[in-house]
Structure 1
Amino acid sequence: MQTSLTRRLLLAAATVAVVASFDVGGALAQEAPAAAAAIAEASASSKYVFNTLLFLVAGFLVMFMAAGFAMLEAGLVRTKNVSMQCTKNIVLYAIGGIMFWLVGYNLMYDGVAGGYFGSFLPKVIPPTDNDPGNYAAASDWFFQMV
């Protein structure tokens, strides 16, 4: 048993010595600037994607809280009134979303230089190619709506 352990330790030490003798640092140094530029470019596009994804996932989680509240209210009423209570929750959520698009989003993001309030007209959400931020404006609208 002792000789088997000694052989394994010697084999492991020899393997580590062979691997450590390879000098890969000099071979990779020439590719560093190109790799850094590629990483920076990928980082900018992935930042946009992950920020948009974060807005959407967080918005969906908050939206499910509204569904949970509807289930709570459904459990508090008699059986014959459950469908009406759930319908009321859905309609109120829909009306709230439409009213936020018509009035609230414009008041929140005014876009007026030096102004405190935006207009009371519907906000036109810019397309993604004109979006100056690091996220999609539609995902921000959804997150702010819920």
Structure 2
Amino acid sequence: MFPGSCDDIIRQHKAACLRVTALVTCKDLLWIGTSAGVLLTMPLPHIASSTTKLANVPTVTGVPHGHTGHVRFLTSVETTFGSTDVPHRNSYKVKQDQRSNTRLLVISGGDGYEDFRTSNLSEVAGREDSTNHLLLWNI
């Protein structure tokens, strides 16, 4: 069998069995992990108590990096970085400095890593399919 036809079979199988495997929200975005290893984002609509239907269908966007196997989990984490020696004399200054040194990360866990922007086959393709990977996005 030729490598191209193997990839076609795998793609067909992933599409036929496609399901959502993980969800997380972060900064007004819904992150969606799939059984094909593809990650999607969708803006969360603002819904009021009087909302009966959405005016527009939210746009779904594919993330160019994902997993070769299904996405096992998605989570978001708030972390601080930079200097830990923040002066404590002025509590307002401390809170302001901590807020400016804070960032959000979205983390996905799954088998393998795949860059969906390229379709080039390389000699390492498939070698780490079953190795667990954590992918991090700075939000």
Question: What TM-score comes out, normalization by structure 2 length?
Answer: 0.23
Structure of higher CA gyration radius: 1
Please state which structure has a larger fraction of its residues in helix: 1
Question: What TM-score comes out, normalization by structure 1 length?
Answer: 0.22
Please state which structure has a larger fraction of its residues in strand: 2
Structure with more relative contact order (C-alpha pairs < 8 Å, separation 6 or more): 1
